[in-house]
Amino acid sequence: MSAIPQERRVVTAIPGPKSQELQARRLAAVAAGVGSTLPVFTARAGGGIIEDVDGNRLIDFGSGIAVTSVGASAEAVVRRASAQLQDFTHTCFMVTPYEGYVAVAEQLAELTPGDHAKKSALFNSGAEAVENAVKIARAYTKRQAVVVFDHGYHGRTNLTMALTSKNMPYKNGFGPFAPEVYRVPVAYGYRWLTGPENAGAEASAQAIDMINKQIGADNVAAIIIEPVLGEGGFIEPAKGFLPAISQFAKDNGIVFVADEIQSGFCRTGQWFACEDEGIVPDLITTAKGIAGGMPLAAVTGRAEIMDSAHAGGLGGTYGGNPVACAAALGAIETMKELDLNGKAKRIEEVMKARLAAMAEKYDIIGDIRGRGAMIAIELVKDRASKTPNPEAAGALAKACHAEGLLVLTCGTYGNVLRFLPPLVIGEDLLNEGLDIIEQAFTGV
């Protein structure tokens, strides 16, 4: 656990004077296209706390967007990465390899779903992992088309922007996009017209029908889906949807890719979210929580699929950097030792009970959803119409920030408040954060 006291402290307005000075420097030097949720500048972080340059301590319900699941300064991550820094910072695995990369690939083979032979390739970011999964699937199937889903998010590179379904802020003005990408419906239970109980069967039937009619299953290289859709609003596809799509892929020689970049590594109370319905993907993409904050990503999958790309066809100068690999081994060690799957389940228990009590009082909470420490509330004008209420999401986030609680918004309609606390957060901080959220509702 971090040496930072695990208690909220607000000593200035947020952002404080030092953060405001740094923000002025940032505006002069950093491109305007790089946004920030909250312009408080971090000095230290650990456990469930972010300490800013003004001495404020904020409760962290963001984890750097599900990255610092083991905390922002986990002992094993710092220890292993520091030791690796002493030995060497880089050689490029494609020039002279090193054990850390192999060890991470071995851990991924052990932890990801399925008991088949698996191999991995390491990269720097989630978008890179998804892009390489498409390359591998195309090499293996000798097909071109890629199927993705409404409300999905897969990255900001040219290909992954094409895969992503939300225009602002991810795609607007950045086209043209990569071709041979097709979007089909997802089982968004809360907004499914005939009700959530029908969403799984009806949405999967619609999606499969569209693939067959509009693309032709024989032309599809890969179907890519987040088992819990992240930026789209923490949407859990209705039960039965993922198994039906996975089976369709299997029946038609299509590579089924689980994008577990936000939902992986204990975030949902399981090592990977696709385990919830027993899905065994052909390929799985990971990043975010993999390395305790160091940039690392991976594609892991069936050995025969992973080996279909020619030698030299996969890689990148920094992919699987030795310091990031050391950090990943430290993060995985922490997840196992502290049973962070168990911790995530406990976070879900606490959060859902408190949020359900709030929903009884506040009609603007339309839906409470998610699993583990990946929980969200969808905000609406009223429950009957389900009209999205992005203004309420923005106002609640602002009120929480002012009180020293970092929360994030998301959703295709911008009306979802999402909670991604570090899995190591203390229950006292978790409840204090929920107190702040409850108080914020009184002002909306």
**Tens-digit pLDDT profile for residues 297-318:** 999 999 999 999 999 999 999 9
387 token code pair? 């009209």
| 5 cis-preceded (ω within 30 degrees of 0) | no
d(CA 120, CA 172): 33
List per-block mean pLDDT (blocks of 10 residues) for the chain, which spans 444 residues.
Answer: 87 97 98 95 98 98 98 97 98 98 98 98 98 98 98 98 96 97 98 98 98 98 98 98 98 98 98 98 98 98 98 97 98 98 98 98 98 98 97 98 98 97 98 98 93
d(CA 444, CA 442): 6
Q: In sequence order, what DSSP letters do the residues of 372-412 get, joined into one string?
A: TTEEEEEEBS-TTT--B-HHHHHHHHHHHHHTTEE-EEE-T
Token pair 């296209």 is at which residue?
33
**Which residue blocks in 189-287 are alpha helix, DSSP H?**
196-210, 241-251
19 token code pair? 């953060």
Query: Burial level of 436, CB count in 10 A (0-12/13-18/19+)?
Result: buried
What is the H or E stretch that residue 357 is in?
helix 340-361
pLDDT tens digit string along 154-210?
999 999 999 999 999 999 999 999 999 999 999 999 999 999 999 999 999 999 999
Buried b (16+ CB within 10 A) or exposed e, 260-295: bbbbbbbbbbbbbbbbbeebbbbbbbbbbbbbbbbb
CB 206, CB 123: distance < 8 Å: no
d(CA 208, CA 211): 5
What pLDDT, on the 0 to 100 scale, is given for residue 3? 87
d(CA 227, CA 209): 21
Name which of 126, 372, 366 is nearest 231 in CA terms.
126
What pLDDT, on the 0 to 100 scale, is given for residue 1? 46
d(CA 14, CA 270): 35
Instruction: Find the angle CA(430)-CA(436)-CA(441) to the nearest 5 degrees.
Output: 130
Write down the pTM of the prediction: 0.97
